[in-house]
Structure 1
Amino acid sequence: MKVTFPHMGRAWIAIKSLFEGLNLEVVVPPPCSRRTLELGVRHSPEFACLPLKINVGNFIEGLKAGADTIVTAGGWGPCRFGYYAQVQRDILTDLGYQFDLIVLEAPDSRLSELANQVRALGVNISYAGMLRAIYRAWEKLKAVDELEESLRYCLPRVTRPAEAEKVLHEGLQAIEAAVTAREIRQALKMGRSRLEGLPYNREPVARIGLVGEIYTLLEPSSNCEIERKLGYLGAEVHRAVSMPQWINDHLLGGILRVDSSQEALECASPYLNDWVGGHGRETVGYSVKYGREGFDGVIQIGPLTCMPEIVAQAVLGQVSQKEGIPVMTMYFDEQTGEAGVMTRLEAFLDMVQRRKQFAAAR
């Protein structure tokens, strides 16, 4: 069995580690590119949201590279993510591909349900071996997230941003190659140390909260690399959602000591106290939280026609007024252009900086 899976940011490092730990042959699809998107757009329904189209492109590229099994996640609720797998199965079957599709569903209540799903994937794997594979993948996932967080802090402050990105790339390679938890932590420590050792400038930095739908937040190809653009424009980005946080909140019941969205959900209550699917409530809650923590602005991003984010957007106007924080919403699809995104980001940051100067002069 040769397994492939959809990309979502740099989570592939942990997913690859997990599957290899389950004694599976892994076919990592090529990084998301313009060709990936073109393949997905060509074969997907026009009205489908952007993540589905990119994932279809991932699967086609993975199958062409020799994979015979696709592993993806399932879901439920108002978000259309819940039926991605069924639509994608039909698309790929109609194209003539022969493959098995394994959908890992989020457990209703018992963690053992998820463990059994993961173990069923493995080849001649014991329960202890499965737990070791999960632990190593979890450590890599956390390390990747923490190193990315360090880059988001450094990028607007260092004199040579390209050098910081090079350090990140090399750090990620070290994390991927690490075998033990100790080696993973050493790779993270080394990457952070190198980032901290770069020359810094003294220019003022805007703090921007980035909220929205999880895939669009985590996959740079789906958002025109918005974090990178903001960093180069002198903004420190705080991303509301991370993979470790999502796994802990939704799959592990919040049992681990990692960032949780619970505080954000409490902040959202005066504005939106019902679940609307996806990350709609988190979008509102983190926007409130960022406003109360003195951030300079919030940018909401999501795929075009994303219903949970549209609901959240309807509330963010009130949040902006009452919490005193500028909010801008950006939706992405295959028609989104780099130049248009850059223009909007530059205008938003210019407004944020002028607002800060005006407040300081009062």
Structure 2
Amino acid sequence: MKVSFPHMGHLYIPLKTLFKGLKLEVIAPPPISQKTMELGVKYSPEFACLPLKINMGNFIEALEQGADTIVMAGGWGPCRFGYYAQVEREILQELGYDFKMVVLEAPDSRISELLLQLKALGEKASVREAYKAIRFAWKKLVAIEKLEKTLEYCLPRAIDKNYMETVFERALQAIDEAESQQEVEKIAQESLREMEKSPCKGAEVLKIGLVGEIYTILEPASNCHVARCLGRLDAQVSRSIYVSDWVNDHLFGGYLRKSNHKQIIQS
């Protein structure tokens, strides 16, 4: 089984770790490019939203690289996201691709259900190995987001912005390649210290809150890398949601930590 998935921010790093922990071969789609966009627009319904079109481009590129299984999240929500997998499956099959679509449905706050779904996907992995894979992937995601938030704070204040971005990108690659939680923690701590110690300007910076549709906030390719661009213009950007929030709410049913979004809905 050669597994692939759609891009959304830096989610590809923990997803690769998760599927490798389930003893699956992983074929991550190439980084989102103009070609990805063109493929998605060409083969998706004209009225479909941008996230669905980008996902389609991801899947076509992954299938062309040899993937035979696509993993997609399902569930409920304020838009038609829960129907993406069904629509994408039909389009890809009509294009002649031979593959299996696996939809991970929201477990309704029961973590055991998601564990069983993942265990079924990784047939060669035990329940214990599936749990360890989830835990390791989550640790990587949390470490990445600490780096993202530090970059959002430090980039507008940095004197050498190229150096700041280089430290961040180097840390991402190292976390992607890390084989243990201890290694991930060490990489994150060292990189955070390096970013925080970089020479900074003393002047105040403009602070901007980034809000909007979830995917276009989380995936830089869909918003023209607005957070990074504003950081280079000396503006500190704070996003209203991060990938871990989406994963916690949609896949883990709020199990991993208290959800601010559910509090808003309930109020």
Same fold, TM exceeding 0.5?
yes
CA contact (8 A) 1:27 1:67 kept: yes
Number of residues of Structure 1 aligned to a counterpart in Structure 2: 267
Matching of residue 101 in structure 1 with residue 96 in structure 2: no
2:178 corresponds to: 178
* Higher mean displacement: 53-62 or 127-136: 127-136
SS at match of 1:228: helix
1:48 corresponds to: 48
Tell me by how many angstroms 1:204 deviates.
1.9
Tell me by how many angstroms 1:250 deviates.
4.0
CA distance in structure 2 between the aligned counterparts of 1:49 and 1:89, rounded to whole angstroms: 16
* Higher mean displacement: 123-132 or 21-30: 123-132
In structure 2, relative to structure 1, the CA distance for the partners of 1:52 and 1:251 (3 Å cut) is: closer
Tell me by how many angstroms 1:45 deviates.
0.7
2:24 corresponds to: 24
CA distance in structure 2 between the aligned counterparts of 1:61 and 1:255, rounded to whole angstroms: 33
SS at match of 1:103: strand
CA contact (8 A) 2:27 2:62 kept: yes
Tell me by how many angstroms 1:264 deviates.
6.7
1:10 corresponds to: 10
2:260 corresponds to: 261
Tell me by how many angstroms 1:160 deviates.
1.3
The structure showing larger relative contact order (alpha-carbon pairs under 8 Å, at least 6 residues apart) is 2
The AA in structure 2 aligned to 1:261 is N
Larger Rg computed on CA atoms: 1
Matching of residue 122 in structure 1 with residue 137 in structure 2: no
SS at match of 1:241: coil
CA distance in structure 2 between the aligned counterparts of 1:264 and 1:34, rounded to whole angstroms: 38
Deviations 1:256-291 (A, max 9, x none): 457x4258717x95xxxxxxxxxxxxxxxxxxxxxx
CA distance in structure 2 between the aligned counterparts of 1:186 and 1:115, rounded to whole angstroms: 28
CA distance in structure 1 between the aligned counterparts of 2:136 and 2:210, rounded to whole angstroms: 29
Tell me by how many angstroms 1:255 deviates.
4.2
* Higher mean displacement: 242-251 or 27-36: 242-251
CA distance in structure 1 between the aligned counterparts of 2:3 and 2:245, rounded to whole angstroms: 25
Deviations 1:208-231 (A, max 9, x none): 111122211111000011101111
Deviations 1:23-68 (A, max 9, x none): 0000011000111000000111111000000000000000001101
In structure 2, relative to structure 1, the CA distance for the partners of 1:60 and 1:241 (3 Å cut) is: same
SS at match of 2:209: strand
* Percent of residue pairs identical: 55
Question: Mind listing any 5+ residue stretches in structure 2 that lack a counterpart?
Answer: none
Alignment of 1:106-255 (within 5 A): 106-255=106-255
SS at match of 1:208: strand
Tell me by how many angstroms 1:94 deviates.
1.1
In structure 2, relative to structure 1, the CA distance for the partners of 1:72 and 1:252 (3 Å cut) is: closer
Question: Mind listing any 5+ residue stretches in structure 1 that lack a counterpart?
Answer: 270-362
CA distance in structure 1 between the aligned counterparts of 2:79 and 2:114, rounded to whole angstroms: 21
Q: Which runs of 4+ in 1 moved over 3 A?
A: 249-258
CA contact (8 A) 2:109 2:254 kept: no
CA distance in structure 2 between the aligned counterparts of 1:263 and 1:2, rounded to whole angstroms: 35
SS at match of 1:215: helix
CA RMSD of aligned residues (A): 1.7
1:301 corresponds to: none
CA distance in structure 1 between the aligned counterparts of 2:229 and 2:56, rounded to whole angstroms: 26
CA distance in structure 2 between the aligned counterparts of 1:225 and 1:30, rounded to whole angstroms: 17
CA distance in structure 2 between the aligned counterparts of 1:197 and 1:171, rounded to whole angstroms: 15
SS at match of 2:31: coil
CA contact (8 A) 1:249 1:261 kept: no
Tell me by how many angstroms 1:254 deviates.
3.7
The AA in structure 1 aligned to 2:43 is H
Tell me by how many angstroms 1:19 deviates.
0.2
CA distance in structure 1 between the aligned counterparts of 2:171 and 2:110, rounded to whole angstroms: 35
CA contact (8 A) 2:143 2:184 kept: yes
CA contact (8 A) 1:24 1:123 kept: no
Q: TM-score, normalised by structure 1?
A: 0.71
Tell me by how many angstroms 1:246 deviates.
2.6
CA distance in structure 2 between the aligned counterparts of 1:263 and 1:21, rounded to whole angstroms: 30
CA distance in structure 2 between the aligned counterparts of 1:77 and 1:111, rounded to whole angstroms: 19
Tell me by how many angstroms 1:127 deviates.
1.0
Tell me by how many angstroms 1:253 deviates.
4.4
Tell me by how many angstroms 1:177 deviates.
1.4
CA distance in structure 2 between the aligned counterparts of 1:175 and 1:34, rounded to whole angstroms: 27
